[in-house]
Amino acid sequence: MFDDFDDELLDEDDEVSASKGEGLQPPRLMSDCLGHEAVEKNLLELAESGRMPHALIFAGPQGIGKATMAFRLARYLLKKGREDESAGGGLFGETLPKTVPENFHVAPDDPVFRQVASGGHPGLITVERLYDEKNDRLKATVEVDEARRITPFMRMTASQDSWRIVIVDDADTMNRNAQNAILKILEEPPANAILILVAHRIGAMLPTIRSRCRVIDFTTPDRKNFASIVGRDHGNLPEREMNLLYDISCGSIGQAVRLCNEGALETIEKVMALLHGWPRWQWSRIHMLAETMGRKGGEDGLRSFQDVFLWIVNSLLRAKARGEALKGPLANEAAQKLLSHYTLNEWTEIAGHLAEHFDTVTTASLDRRHAVLGAFSVFEAREAA
């Protein structure tokens, strides 16, 4: 139920898994969307009243279910269109009373659900970041050629009561040219067509785009829904670790599952143990950790290390700024000693330098060992200043 899953075509096993609702699935396979019931109710009222906007921006943090809701809405509209098109009157030609549904639910064994899940529904296309085979990762942006697919598709004539739906995932990664490519369709929207832009940073969308769309704000799920969703894949986690995941991920389901899979819970134990050595870092142990991260296949572990280290420093900065007590794994003498040593301005500088260091390692493709060694060196640089 999170936005940055790769969307892949289904084989038989995938369809069975989706229909059973086992574990977390890519957004187009998820049959529910916990924590966003108020958003769904609002959208349902628009759909049932015939006031559905021609363009929507689903805005909010990454990994909280925006793309899942986009596919959920798409399935509902496509199924509704099919039912309206084939509906007839009663036995004597009278108009049958309209049944108002409670939500967008479409059963996983429904033909519309299966078509959307496989990427084969003729009324829906998905535009997203393409996979970069050379660098073995998703490209950084939704490319302009992908954005140019939208207008001709939406202008195709749909049969009466049918829909043409486009979902753009990571829409905020579109550059100016890509965003300009969809302006015309927003200025002159065709009937029975809807464009859903899933954006994690709405500020990256052009004002001319935002002004022509209905913005739907999504908030992070509460701890109960978070634990329920993450628990589908990691149901054996103790409450303490689940709460820790919630804090590190800021409530993002997608990031929490990734952190779990990358061993972040083990990483935080290692980093906290090393922090106990401050102000005299145990460089031999730090070098051992750096060597581990630098080995082939250590990319996931490094990303987990960066997330954990940034969370620790930002948590200390926040506690310093608000005068709050440290909680969780930071509620110990070593962390308190570290917190008290630096002023608020110094913590602000440390957090900024650390983020800049990790960005440099990533963008310049530096040796992964440098990421670990440099993180601890940020504190030494602060002492030498």
Q: Sketch the domain layout of the chain as residue ranges.
A: 12-217, 262-384
Q: What is the pTM of this model?
A: 0.83
Task: Please give the pLDDT value at position 327.
Answer: 87
Higher-pLDDT residue of 95, 129: 129
Mean pLDDT (whole number) for 256-266: 89
Q: Are 44 and 104 in contact (CB under 8 A)?
A: yes
- Mean pLDDT throughout 269-274? 90
Mean pLDDT is lowest, of 34-43, 198-207, 295-304, 340-349, for: 295-304
From 14-18, 20-24, 38-42, 223-227, the region with the lowest mean pLDDT: 14-18
3-state class of 143 per DSSP? coil
Lowest mean pLDDT, pick from 18-22, 164-168, 335-339, 374-378 = 18-22
CB 260 within 8 A of CB 230: yes
| Helix, strand, coil share (%) of the chain residues, nearest 5 | 55, 10, 35
14 confidence band (pLDDT: 50, 70, 90): very low
Question: Which pLDDT belongs to residue 282?
Answer: 93
Quick one: pLDDT at residue 94?
52
Using the predicted structure, report yes or no on whether residue 125 has a pLDDT greater than 90.
yes
Residue of 336 and 367 predicted with greater confidence: 336
Task: Work out the widest C-alpha separation in the chain, in whole angstroms.
Answer: 89
Residue type at 54? H
Mean pLDDT of the chain: 87
Coil, strand or helix at 57: strand
Q: For residue 123, what are its two tokens?
A: 């009324």
What is the structure's pLDDT at 91? 45
DSSP 251-292: T-HHHHHHHHHTTHHHHHHHHHHHHTTTTS--HHHHHHHHHH
Peptide bond into 26 cis (omega under 30): no
Residues in CB range of 130: below 8 A, 6 or more apart: 138, 139, 143, 146
Domain 12-217 fold: Rossmann fold (3.40.50)
Pairing between strand 131-132 and 137-138? antiparallel
CB 132 within 8 A of CB 139: yes
Best-predicted range by mean pLDDT (41-45, 91-95, 155-159):
41-45
309 pLDDT exceeds 50? yes
pLDDT of 290 strictly over 80: yes
pLDDT band at 65 (very low <50, low <70, confident <90, very high): very high
Q: CB within 8 A of 158, min separation 6: which ones?
A: 81, 123, 164, 192, 193
In the structure encoding, which two tokens stand for residue 273, read together? 């143990």
| Mean predicted confidence (pLDDT) in 230-250 | 90
Q: What does the DSSP assignment read for 182-233?
A: THHHHHSPPTTEEEEEEES-GGGS-HHHHTTSEEEE--PPPHHHHHHHHHHH
Closest CA to 328 of 265, 241, 229: 241
Cα distances from 312 to residues 47, 119, 253, 298, 382, in angstroms, run 44, 41, 19, 21, 17
Q: Supply the pLDDT for residue 85.
A: 52
With CA atoms as reference, report the closest residue to 178 among 198, 203, 206.
Answer: 206
Is residue 123 within 8 Å of residue 165, measured between CB atoms? yes
The per-residue pLDDT for 283 is: 94
DSSP 8-class letter at 240: H
Which is more confidently placed, 89 or 288? 288
Predicted local distance difference test score (pLDDT) of residue 7? 39
pLDDT digits (tens, 9 = 90+) for 154-201: 998 765 558 999 999 999 999 999 999 999 999 999 999 999 999 999
> Which range (84-98, 165-179, 225-239, 363-377) has the least confidence?
84-98
Q: Is the pLDDT of residue 27 over 50?
A: yes
For residue 303, the tally of other CB atoms under 10 A from its CB is 20
Beta strands in the chain (DSSP E): 55-59, 124-127, 131-132, 137-138, 164-168, 193-199, 214-217
